[in-house]
Amino acid sequence: MNILITGANRGIGAALMTAAAERGDTAIGTTRSAGHDTLLRLDVRDPQSCAALAERLANTQIDLLVCNAGVYLEKGMPADNLTDTRLWADTFATNVTGVYLTAMAFLPHLKRSTAPKLAIISSQMGSSTRANGQSYIYRASKSAALNLGRNLAVDLKPHGIPVGIYHPGWVRTDMGTDAADVGTDESARGLLARFDVLSLDTTGCFEMWNGDPMPF
């Protein structure tokens, strides 16, 4: 299986790359930074960057697209002082618009697959049911990504492309901190197992890395 994973330079993205390669998949990873030895450059916020990589991979069939690139720019900031509109714009540009731009750019590649799938890494913090306060920008962006994924599931179903939205767990990464309760390797293996069983019957699902359903 050919898998394209955005934001693969660290954390969950890097762990997904490793886990996919270990089981024999061909994993193609991207990073926003230039000059990386093994990852391809992609700025998911930039339509031209998305188009350029799509053209570079024009002859590549993609069986699974994992929209993993994300940011948490207000981490540690007080919730009553998020008045810098750049934080809102930059977060939504990556966490929401970036998902859309990536999905649209690589839709032709997915359509060449006999069993295409689209996976969006969101968060339990995007759940409207689990509204626990704080982190307003990040929560709003992940909620929007969840909504985007649910609507993509409707529109891509006639094309035979199921869409799944996933919470990777509270993972020990730079974003999740060392206090988190799930390791990147465990999360990555669990997520790959969820991607494997994603189908048109379950399209639009919102699940944890271990398969537990998440409340919308």
For the ranges 96-105, 162-171, 177-186, 207-216, the lowest mean pLDDT is seen at 177-186
- pLDDT for 178 equals 61
Taking residues 151-168, what's their average pLDDT? 98
What's the distance, CA 153 to chain centroid? Answer: 15
Spatial contact of 200 and 160, defined as CB atoms under 8 Å apart: yes
Across 75-87, b (16+ Cβ under 10 Å) vs e yields eeeeeeeeeeeeb
CA dist 86 and 41 (Å) reads: 23
Question: Which residue, 213, 201, 189, is CA-closest to 12?
Answer: 189
The two structure tokens encoding residue 79 = 């919730």
Q: What is the CATH number of domain 2-208?
A: 3.40.50.720
**pLDDT tens, residue by residue, 184-201:** 889 999 999 999 999 999
Structure tokens at 143: 């909620």
E strands, the chain, where? 2-5, 26-31, 40-41, 64-67, 117-121, 163-167, 205-208
> Residue 46 to residues 32, 53, 198: CA-CA distances in angstroms?
10, 11, 28
- Residue 180's pLDDT is 55
pLDDT in tens, 29-60: 999 988 788 999 999 999 999 999 999 999 99
What's residue 119's pLDDT?
98
pLDDT band at 82; cut points 50, 70, 90 = very high
Look at residue 181 in the predicted model and tell me its pLDDT: 72
Instruction: Supply the pLDDT for residue 130.
Output: 85
> Can you read off the two tokens belonging to residue 142?
């992940």
The mean pLDDT of the chain is 94
Lowest mean pLDDT among 20-29, 134-143, 146-155, 163-172: 163-172
What distance in Å separates the CA atoms of residue 131 and residue 66, rounded to the nearest whole number? Answer: 26
